[in-house]
C-alpha cells in the first residue's frame, strides 16, 4: 500500500479518491485518542474538549498523566488520505462507561477500530474491547508509549489483553504523525486481509452497520 500521506495540508479530497472508510480510534480515559486523531488529520480536527473539573477527578483516573486539563466530552473527528484512492475518516470515541450510548451512533458504518492502550493501565482497555466485540467491529491494538511506562514484550501484552493471535499489536507515539500513520496502516491492512480471506460456510462477513453481505468499504465518488 502506498503509505504516504497523500494530501499534506489539503482541505479538499483528491479527485483520484475512490474509497472512503470510517474507522474508530478508541481507548480508555487519557490514553491519547485526541492526540492521535490530531496528529494524523489533514484537516483541522473537530474536537469536543472541555475543562476537567474536581467532580470528574472522582471518576476519571489521572494517575501518571501530567498536564492534562481537558477531556473529550463527545468525539474527535479527522481525515487522512492514505493513498491516491483511499481516504479514512477517523472518529475518536471516548471509552468511559458514561459514553456507551454514544457508541450506537459512532459504530454505525465503521469498518474497524484502533484501540489505543497504555502499559500502565492495560486492564482499562477491556471495557472498550468488550464494546467493540459487542458491536462486531474488528480491531487492532496500538500501545501508545508514555514516558516512564513499562515496556513489556509483545507476548506479555498479548496475554495480558487476551488478544487473538491474528489481532495486530503495534506500538506508537500518538504525538508523532509517522508513528500514528504506521499504526493506522496496520489496522487497514488487517481489515483488508480479513475482507480478502475466503468466505467461510456462512458466507462473507458483513460489514458492521453496512448493508448485509457488503464486504468491501463503500465506494464514494470524489467530492
Residues that bind Mg ion (CB under 5 A): 33-34, 72
CA atoms within 13 A on the CB side of 207: 20
Stretch 45-74 residues interacting with ligand GTP (CB under 6 A): 65, 67-68, 71-72
Q: Which of 20, 30, 142, 143 touches ligand GTP (CB under 6 A)?
A: 30
Instruction: Based on the shown chain and the rule CB under 6 A, indicate whether residue 91 belongs to the binding site for ligand GTP.
Output: no
Return the SS3 of 8.
coil
Instruction: Based on the shown chain and the rule CB under 6 A, indicate whether residue 39 belongs to the binding site for ligand GTP.
Output: no
Candidates 24-32, 101-109, 129-137, 206-214; binding stretch for ligand GTP (CB under 6 A): 24-32
Distance CA 35, CA 14 (A): 25
Distance CA 17, CA 150 (A): 40
Instruction: Based on the shown chain and the rule CB under 6 A, indicate whether residue 145 belongs to the binding site for ligand GTP.
Output: yes
The angle, 0 to 180 degrees and rounded to 10, between the axes of the packed helices 33-40 and 177-196 is 90
- 14 vs 175 by CB, closer to ligand GTP: 175
- 56 vs 206 by CB, closer to ligand GTP: 56
Q: Residue 208, Cβ neighbours under 10 Å: how many?
A: 16
Distance CA 93, CA 64 (A): 22
For ligand GTP, how many residues bind (rule: CB under 6 A)?
A: 21
Amino acid at each position: 500500500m502506498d503509505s504516504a500521506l497523500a494530501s499534506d495540508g489539503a482541505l479538499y479530497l483528491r479527485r483520484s479518491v475512490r474509497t472512503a472508510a470510517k474507522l474508530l480510534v478508541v481507548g480508555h480515559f487519557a490514553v491519547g485518542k485526541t492526540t492521535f486523531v490530531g496528529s494524523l488529520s489533514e484537516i483541522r480536527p473537530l474536537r469536543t474538549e472541555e475543562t476537567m473539573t474536581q467532580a470528574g477527578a472522582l471518576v476519571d483516573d489521572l494517575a501518571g498523566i501530567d498536564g492534562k486539563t481537558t477531556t473529550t466530552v463527545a468525539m474527535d473527528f479527522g481525515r487522512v488520505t492514505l493513498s491516491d484512492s483511499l481516504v479514512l475518516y477517523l472518529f475518536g470515541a471516548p471509552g468511559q462507561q458514561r459514553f456507551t450510548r454514544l457508541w450506537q451512533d459512532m459504530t454505525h458504518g465503521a469498518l474497524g477500530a484502533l484501540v489505543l492502550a497504555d502499559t500502565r493501565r492495560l486492564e482499562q482497555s477491556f471495557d472498550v474491547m468488550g464494546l467493540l466485540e459487542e458491536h462486531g467491529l474488528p480491531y487492532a491494538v496500538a500501545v501508545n508509549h508514555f514516558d516512564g511506562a513499562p515496556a513489556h514484550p509483545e507476548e506479555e501484552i498479548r496475554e495480558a489483553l487476551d488478544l487473538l493471535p491474528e489481532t495486530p499489536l503495534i506500538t506508537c507515539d500518538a504525538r508523532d504523525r509517522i508513528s500514528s500513520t504506521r499504526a493506522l496502516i496496520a489496522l487497514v491492512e488487517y481489515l483488508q486481509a480479513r475482507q480478502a480471506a475466503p468466505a467461510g460456510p456462512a458466507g462473507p462477513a458483513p460489514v458492521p452497520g453496512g448493508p448485509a453481505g457488503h464486504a468491501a468499504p463503500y465506494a464514494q465518488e470524489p467530492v
